[in-house]
A and B are shown apart, each in its own frame.
Chain A
């Protein structure tokens, strides 16, 4: 395998992992605050369609990205109002949000079927990425670098900042956090908004960078993979990054293996490989821990009311 192919594989891998990473990172913060939002797929789709609609109408991919973030937050707010203010069941509301997102994105996108835009290009000028190996470092678009920065940011926020500590406290014991005066509902609203923003951005990565078009159900279930990754990463941003890239890597190698003519493995087995590998490695990492306690935030999925 020559270096050009290897670099090309790395580029594909990174691109395939980025939307999953973004959506999962947002959901990680939401779950850390004690809320389970299963509507990631729906938020990704509304972000994808809003991003495309605005980018197509204005000719600006940047505006499209902003629109996708706003659309993601807007969709997430429906969930937040229903579950936080009206204490609806989080699981049912999250599932409903996905169904809503599928339908709403299809409705909004109906006028954009068959249109294309100029895809989101590399951040750095060509000169920096002339050599194949430099391309692997500098050949990505802005969202890739942003997603990596966000992993670092979220990790530091959760472990090193007071605000992060409060967020985790709300997720671990909402009653106590409330008793010492923290606005549990307000903090959860903020966390859900952040989750929506990243899911929307992850969705827009499909319609603006990976496949610059609108087509129904463009995300094809990546939101569910993101949800699973949060659990398998044991709610740790670093592991989440590893999990998302591992998933992208196995998915890319699966396709490369088929293209290279490896036929002794059934295609169905290869198609399962990314899921199997992700589950296997992340489970092994969880088993390697000595304490053995459950990693999920203690208040995950439980409704809270201040009365």
Chain B
């Protein structure tokens, strides 16, 4: 017990001491709003964590001196995350973004200890008064690249390097395959489960294995551009993941699904500033600017380009939902009746494959 008191006293003392230099300034100007981030990976991964950090940089650009951002990268999911979150909370941040699914429980737990602070958790489903959740409809982007794959593949076989069979990934495989099969009804998607989010050498080898087995379009749900490099070397097409990866494979890279969190981050910071922030759940897609597509490669045929643009426009207009009935799964079970679109709940629990997926 005494150790806790000591620690608390220490923290209070430290907070008071760190506040001292601010006092003078506070008399003239408002202290900057502290915005903290924790990332599951390194910001140099070109993928998930990198795109969140791009969002943080966009915040700095937008608000300048009015905010002060800080981040902790490579935070392991689990107890470490609680420690990192607590650290950010005690450092005076008023809004904290926890940017990985596995940070969900630690975020809820730490948010209880700091009821005055606001927390945002990416891709989670647990909310609280001061914990909001947000996610992106990546499957919309996958429907666009699936359409392109359907047009560009000569063998009618795509290779898909997948990480783990969670609904998010399964949803992506299905959206990609459904879209490709609208173009080419015999289209097949071969899936390799890499059982990792990040292992560049293995991702590259997986791409090579898929190409060996006849795939001439490669896409991935893992985080590095290694698969693209392998595709470039073997002269087949591929798509970037999370960010524009064309620098790694100028010929192979047809386009990329780009995660863009900056719009959401800018909006939420503004809401904290003017006091209108409320907990909630946002699942934004192409229309909301959460998901974008990188510039199309000149190698894309006019048909592929037109098809991709049509799907993109249809999704934005709300006239096209990538999961629209009649839809049967791999085993022939009817999942959606004709004309019916998949409710979000069905998507977020997806654990079945559509026809044409070989997983």
From residue B44, how far is it (CB to closest CB) to chain A in Å? 4
- Choose one: B45, B200, B358; the contact of A211 (CB below 8 Å): B200
Please tell me if the beta carbons of A213 and B248 are within 8 angstroms of each other in the complex.
yes
Q: Is A280 an interface residue (CB 8 A)?
A: no
Q: Determine the chain A residues whose CB is within 8 A of the CB of B46 once the complex forms.
A: 113-114, 215
Please tell me if the beta carbons of A110 and B44 are within 8 angstroms of each other in the complex.
yes
Across the interface, name the chain A residue whose C-beta is closest to B49. Answer: A216
Please tell me if the beta carbons of B229 and A212 are within 8 angstroms of each other in the complex.
yes
Q: Determine the chain A residues whose CB is within 8 A of the CB of B210 once the complex forms.
A: 259
Please tell me if the beta carbons of B212 and A8 are within 8 angstroms of each other in the complex.
yes
Chain B residues touching A, majority SS: mixed
Contacts A210-B204, A211-B204, A211-B226; is A263 near B358 (CB within 8 Å)? yes
Please tell me if the beta carbons of A12 and B209 are within 8 angstroms of each other in the complex.
yes
Q: Determine the chain B residues whose CB is within 8 A of the CB of A116 once the complex forms.
A: 229, 247-248
| Total inter-chain residue pairs, C-beta < 8 Å | 111
Within 8 A of B (CB), among A183-238: 206, 210-222
With the chains together, A255 CA to B207 CA distance in Å?
Answer: 9
Q: Is A106 an interface residue (CB 8 A)?
A: yes
Q: Determine the chain A residues whose CB is within 8 A of the CB of B195 once the complex forms.
A: 267-268, 271
With the chains together, A16 CA to B226 CA distance in Å?
Answer: 14
Within 8 A of A (CB), among B181-202: 190-196, 198-202
Please tell me if the beta carbons of B200 and A215 are within 8 angstroms of each other in the complex.
yes
Q: Determine the chain B residues whose CB is within 8 A of the CB of A106 once the complex forms.
A: 42, 44
- Choose one: A19, A222, A258; the contact of B191 (CB below 8 Å): A258
- Choose one: B202, B215, B233; the contact of A220 (CB below 8 Å): B202
Q: Mark B210-234, 1 if CB is under 8 A from A, else 0.
A: 1011010000000011100100010
With the chains together, A119 CA to B247 CA distance in Å?
Answer: 14
Q: Determine the chain A residues whose CB is within 8 A of the CB of B42 once the complex forms.
A: 106, 216-217
For the complex, count residues of B whose C-beta is within 8 A of A.
37
A interface residue count range (under 10 / 10 to 19 / 20 to 34 / 35 or more): 35 or more
Within 8 A of A (CB), among B262-313: none
From residue A76, how far is it (CB to closest CB) to chain B in Å? 23
With the chains together, A100 CA to B226 CA distance in Å?
Answer: 25
Contacts A8-B208, A8-B212, A116-B248; is A16 near B201 (CB within 8 Å)? yes
Contacts A213-B229, A215-B44, A261-B358; is A256 near B209 (CB within 8 Å)? yes
From residue A96, how far is it (CB to closest CB) to chain B in Å? 17
From residue A278, how far is it (CB to closest CB) to chain B in Å? 15
Q: Determine the chain B residues whose CB is within 8 A of the CB of A256 once the complex forms.
A: 209, 212-213
Q: Is A9 an interface residue (CB 8 A)?
A: yes
Please tell me if the beta carbons of B205 and A259 are within 8 angstroms of each other in the complex.
no
From residue B167, how far is it (CB to closest CB) to chain A in Å? 16
